[in-house]
Amino acid sequence: MSDLISDARARFAYKPLDHTTDAIRLVKVLPVLSPEGHLQLELWHSVLLAKYLCVSYQWGEQAIQHEVLINGSVFTVGSNLYGFLQKIYTWAQAGFKEPLWVDAICINQSCLSGRGHQVQRMGAIYSEAQEVFVWLGDHRELAGAFYDWLHSAQTHQCPIHLRQQWDRIRFNPYWSRAWIKQEILLAKRVTVVLRGAKIEWTVLGNAIAKSGNLDGLDREHAAHLWSFWGERWRSKHYCQSKATVSSKNDLFSFWSLMYMHRSSECTDKRDRVYSLLGLLEEDHDFTVSYEETVADLFWRVGFYFDAWTPELMDILKAALLEDDDRGQHQAQRPVVDPWRLIQSVRWRPDMHLRIPICRVTPTNSFTRRIRRSVKCKFSNSEPFEIRLVTHHREQVVTTTLLSSATQVYDVGTDTWVGISTWSSLERALTTPNLDRVDRVKLSVSASYAIWIWFGVHPSQLDEAYTLHDTELSAHHALPSGTKITKNSVELPAT
């Protein structure tokens, strides 16, 4: 049987969804092959309230493509998905008629706006599905003894002769995917589909947890999902059903989820953010956009979720900016490349952000210079300047800023107010119930913030520019008039 369909058939073309409604696409595998011997699928527009099943799977290697027919036209899918469609075809021959939602088919992947619109609703799509099929790949037939052991009470002791089959399941690369937390946790029911049988997720998860090694979570992604996330997700919803406790759960806050899944596997790094949105405890209107770059998303996440503390910045850098090529040793610290951010701020010369102030000391006080002590007793007309000192390993970079860079959040007016004198700063800092981390911050240009985060020392600038972009210069990355010496970066007065 040929794997190519006659050139007489047209390529499949999507019709746009109505984005003002809850429209989705659904697909069905037909029980008969085409005259050329290819799988035939039917695709149509529907709504979330329809009855359908979702598929959770790993896209896998896309180099090998297989042709199928959708509404009589040619469409290509990757090998892993093709194996699942073949499985559903055998079910269709036995009477299976359920509509499916499959992201690679039901989302027009070539339309960035349409893709973003549907990914934005992935949480709702998986929540509303009658069932979610987990496809681990087209493994060879598993022995009957394997299923007997899986359903037995002694699931923590996998027999030696079955361990090779068991390891193919529990260490399947599917479990490390970024999207599966949302796809499984939001589902009403989860069924794992193998070549020879279907297994309830509760049965498989219980066996994985009992036989897994939770001390080695770098490999035990499936055990982690079942034991850690499943337990806490169920606990969260139990608490929500009881009026005795608050439904607020820090585990499902944005930054907790980002930290836990900052290294999840995904083809597109932006999905490390987008794949978590459906699980967030807090209400949000953060939008999905595949039309923006990773650097654009970095800045947008930072501003929306207030990422400018050192701890949160490290999480965001790990998720979006780490080099995927970690070498042969996984323990090797990944390299974070700041240059895509530097290039992005070239188009945003006026962008500023507010970072928390850890310590405030006067820099123009004679007493401070002699005694190295802090005294904030100045007249109302006394201006001051800010010396921002950052430490990068053994190197120190110092930058002088105007006093107005210090800003305090005014609850009454819902605005940030710049400070002009030490007395006004002292008054602001003695405000009752003031949380300095949230309400006293330093406004700096985004270009200089990059230096704070990444530690590119001024003395290394020439070498760094040569390695990354010979067209960049210090004045491209920092405001015009910036003075750079071996031990300091001085921004011009504004």
Single-letter code of the amino acid located at 25: R
Q: How much is the pLDDT for 70?
A: 97
Rounded CA gap, 100 and 98, in Å? Answer: 6
Q: How much is the pLDDT for 467?
A: 62
Q: How much is the pLDDT for 367?
A: 46
Q: How much is the pLDDT for 374?
A: 41
Measured N-to-C along each axis, helices 310-320 and 294-304 cross at an angle, to the nearest 10 degrees, of 150
Going from N- to C-terminal start, the domains of the chain cover 23-241, 250-323, 344-490
Rounded CA gap, 198 and 87, in Å? Answer: 11
Q: Which stretches in the chain have pLDDT values below 70?
A: 1-8, 139-141, 153-156, 212-219, 229, 231-250, 323-337, 358-383, 390-395, 397, 434-437, 455-494
Pairing type for strands 395-402 and 385-392 reads antiparallel
pLDDT, tens digit, 9 for 90 and up, residues 117-175: 999 999 999 999 999 999 988 766 677 788 888 887 666 678 888 888 888 888 888 98
Q: How much is the pLDDT for 387?
A: 73
The strand pairing partners of 223, in sequence order, are none
Q: What percent of the chain has pLDDT over 90?
A: 31
Inter-residue contact 486 to 460 (CB < 8 Å) = no
Q: How much is the pLDDT for 465?
A: 55
Q: How much is the pLDDT for 26?
A: 97
